[in-house]
Structure 1
Amino acid sequence: MAPPVLRVSGLTKVFGTREQEALRLAGEGLGRDEIHRRTGSTLAVHDVSFTVERGELFVVMGLSGSGKSTLVRLLNRLIEPSAGTVEVEGRDLRALDDAALRTVRNEKISMVFQHFALLPHRTVRENAAYALKVRGAGAAEQRERADWALETVGLLERADARPDELSGGMRQRVGLARALAADSEVLLMDEPFSALDPLIRRDMQDLLERLQAELTKTIVFITHDLNEAMRLGDRILMLKDGRTVQLGTGPEIISAPADDYVADFTSDVDRTRVLTAGDLLREPRMTARLGDGCGDVLRALGAAEANGVHVLDGDGRIAGVARDDLLARALQEGRTAIGPRELVADHATIAADRPVVEFVHLVGRHVVPLGVVDTEGRLLGVVPRAAVLDALSAVPVRGRRP
């Protein structure tokens, strides 16, 4: 496996004059409030460790005061850590001098802020090209990259406008375009959509999902919105009082919260939009192949107390469904091997990444369970009706990590 793009180890930040004393107390297990009472210093982030793989959209989430905004600023040394390390492609940021750190910020890490952080006296195109200008790129390259980024986010026609002529959603698109134009290895996004109204926020989430599917950037995304985290994140790091509470995928966190805090936090999540067909995937109890004996398959259906079976072609694609009544008729008519005449289209399929809300209406409507297929149509497994009902009605198991 390729090494992670971002590696964070033991990252800690104390604000206040008695930093070392606060670090000692934190190491002894004291909480944030007690440390502040004894030292007057604030333990903003404590002993946080994680990696972010290339192309991953990694979400850091927590309530206000959990330390998430401090954490994201530690990742590019906008805030100096009190302890711990941050490595970008194997380079420890704490070991870099000011010039090398500026180079890393200009070329390796871009940031998209909550309140846009656009330059009001510059045009949309100039804002989008700003990182390239700082980097010393030529005018032609600046314009080419900026226009590509603006077109990517749907704003090329406003390239000559000023930021104050744009809506909030448009200004956030410019901020995203600026990060894309810089072509940085890592995008840090600090609650980029929280200042937007709900409809525009959903539009921006849609845009980010589309861009991630097309460009596969490495993103650290900060949010306090659990539904946003579940929708966007490949993995989610949950913080409370500056410490890691749980790290996992959305389905892992929902199905096995680490403690009561996480269980309460996730209790209102819409599981139909988080759990996917791949999460509920089961091995089929049986399948058949074109050319298999009708009698053999009929007996196997009887033993399995099933009425039908997926029949696969030589490449593993679903050719159709063989029902027990049609197999019996074939034998009566002297046909001994499964062929097209024994098959019906009494089945439905779904891709593994599709959420339950998109296929729940298909479950249980056919003689065979819902088939989960890859992009070539090959059968990966099935989603039985009972698996869906169990997942949607399950009570989270508290106090156990997945």
Structure 2
Amino acid sequence: MSTSTRPVIKCESVYKIFGDNAAKILEKSGGKVETAALLDAGCVIGVNNASFEVHKGEILVVMGLSGSGKSTLLRCISRLIDTTAGAIFIDGEDLLAMNDRELIDIRRNKMGMVFQNFALLPHKTVLENIALPLQVKGMSTRDSMDRAIDMVSLVELTGRENDFPRQLSGGQQQRVGIARSLAVEPDIWFLDEPFSALDPLIRREMQDEFLRLQSVLGKTILFVTHDFDEALRLADRIAIMKDGVIEQIDTPANIVFSPATEYVARFTREVPRERVLSCQTIMGKYDASAEMSNITVSADAIIETVAEPVLTEPKPVAVTDAEGRILGVLDSRIMIDALFSETQSVAVTN
């Protein structure tokens, strides 16, 4: 994930209020949002004072129960619905100030969207479904088909190019939807419960596919889910929503070990530490004179993904950064302490 100074997405005090009286109440209050007055008037607050940033290459997972406001927030940021108050910036541009033409342009060229409903056209083949948004943009049939073939390969559906949606499994249909959204090469990728309609095994496979694609493409992603396990697995950061309010936005480890509210704590009480702690948070000091294992693990790797090889390795395992530099070591003793010690202090860092 990049840490460039200017965020790709920036929200400032975003509100979305549903109700016939909302506009009138806001006008009387001079544009100041008074939650109590709006609720008393029978309004529903879908998003309540949301402020946050998403940086280039980051996966922000927005999660909460049904009715929490997570999908409403995504639709505000993609401007599928209009906000009631606040400001939204995409790459520094004021999204809410854009006219229809500018909005169409930014959706076609910067945004990709995937929803729970695959929305594939049943009378078109896999290739034709993927090529469609490119043809809408004005690309020739030949060029759009060439690009669609590349996308088929990317999502590993080679050999199914000429199949119709009815001939595909649910997971394969979702891959087509993902390929179609990526065909326009968006900078920002919005995904709203994309895997929730899938069977558990297929859902896991699609999460693997999603992570594989992100490792290749490095998109800036806003991913909506109600599944905390899915959020832990996919997120760089998680935003937990309740009644339109972002209760906490933080790294998975900080969400689990330092919940900001009781509501967040209820989500995290039963989460095993190995699912959120990275190798860097538990590693020991590196001794250059020690005989090391031939295997290495990434500092960012979650320990459940490396526990087995470390536990079965008699020599210390090097923990390395992206450039291959050794930052510390893991061994069976450190891993056992991390997995089973109830008294171990956990130092969580951003």
Task: Confirm or deny a common fold (TM above 0.5).
Answer: yes
Larger radius of gyration: 1
Residue matched to 1:292: none
- Letter matched to residue 269 of structure 1: V
How far apart, in 2, do the equivalents of 1:360 and 1:72 lie? 36
Does the CA contact (< 8 Å) of 1:58 and 1:236 recur in 2? yes
How far apart, in 2, do the equivalents of 1:196 and 1:247 lie? 27
> 1:54-79, CA deviations, whole angstroms, 9 ceiling, x for partnerless residues?
11111111111100111111111111
Residue matched to 1:381: 328
How far apart, in 2, do the equivalents of 1:388 and 1:353 lie? 19
Q: 1:178 to 1:375 in 2, by over 3 A?
A: same
Does the CA contact (< 8 Å) of 1:26 and 1:46 recur in 2? no
- Greater RCO, 1 or 2 (C-alpha within 8 Å, sep 6+): 2
Q: 1:345 to 1:161 in 2, by over 3 A?
A: closer
Residue matched to 2:143: 141
The structural deviation recorded for 1:106 is 1.0
The structural deviation recorded for 1:159 is 1.8
Residue matched to 1:231: 233
Q: Equivalent residue of 1:278, what SS?
A: helix
Does the CA contact (< 8 Å) of 2:62 and 2:223 recur in 1? yes
The structural deviation recorded for 1:26 is 8.8
> 1:248-280, CA deviations, whole angstroms, 9 ceiling, x for partnerless residues?
111111111101111111112233222220232
The structural deviation recorded for 1:231 is 0.6
How far apart, in 2, do the equivalents of 1:78 and 1:72 lie? 9
Q: Equivalent residue of 2:162, what SS?
A: coil
Q: 1:117 to 1:394 in 2, by over 3 A?
A: farther
Does the CA contact (< 8 Å) of 2:113 and 2:190 recur in 1? yes
Q: What residue ranges of structure 1 are gaps of 5+ in the alignment? A: 288-308, 312-320, 322-343
The structural deviation recorded for 1:12 is 0.8
Residue matched to 1:326: none
TM-score of the aligned structures, taking structure 2 as reference length: 0.88
> 1:283-332, CA deviations, whole angstroms, 9 ceiling, x for partnerless residues?
x2xx6xxxxxxxxxxxxxxxxxxxxx442xxxxxxxxx1xxxxxxxxxxx
Residue matched to 2:303: 356
The structural deviation recorded for 1:386 is 5.6
Q: Please, which of 257, 260, 271 is the counterpart of residue 259 of structure 2?
A: 257
Q: 1:160 to 1:363 in 2, by over 3 A?
A: closer
Matches within 5 A, 1:216-365: 216-282=218-284, 284=285, 309-311=287-289, 321=290, 344-345=291-292, 349-361=296-308, 362=310
Higher mean C-alpha deviation, range 346-355 or range 87-96: 346-355
Q: 1:383 to 1:44 in 2, by over 3 A?
A: same
How far apart, in 2, do the equivalents of 1:87 and 1:353 lie? 30
Does the CA contact (< 8 Å) of 1:48 and 1:244 recur in 2? yes
Q: What residue ranges of structure 2 are gaps of 5+ in the alignment? A: none
Higher mean C-alpha deviation, range 43-52 or range 162-171: 162-171
Q: 1:375 to 1:87 in 2, by over 3 A?
A: closer
Matches within 5 A, 1:1-400: 1-20=4-23, 27-28=33-34, 30=36, 35-36=38-39, 38-282=40-284, 284=285, 309-311=287-289, 321=290, 344-345=291-292, 349-361=296-308, 362=310, 370-374=317-321, 377-383=324-330, 385=333, 389=337
* Backbone CA RMSD of aligned residues: 2.8
Q: Equivalent residue of 2:223, what SS?
A: strand
How far apart, in 2, do the equivalents of 1:227 and 1:146 lie? 32
> 1:362-391, CA deviations, whole angstroms, 9 ceiling, x for partnerless residues?
369768x65422356532023474686357
> 1:118-154, CA deviations, whole angstroms, 9 ceiling, x for partnerless residues?
2222221121112111111111221111111111111
Does the CA contact (< 8 Å) of 1:280 and 1:388 recur in 2? no
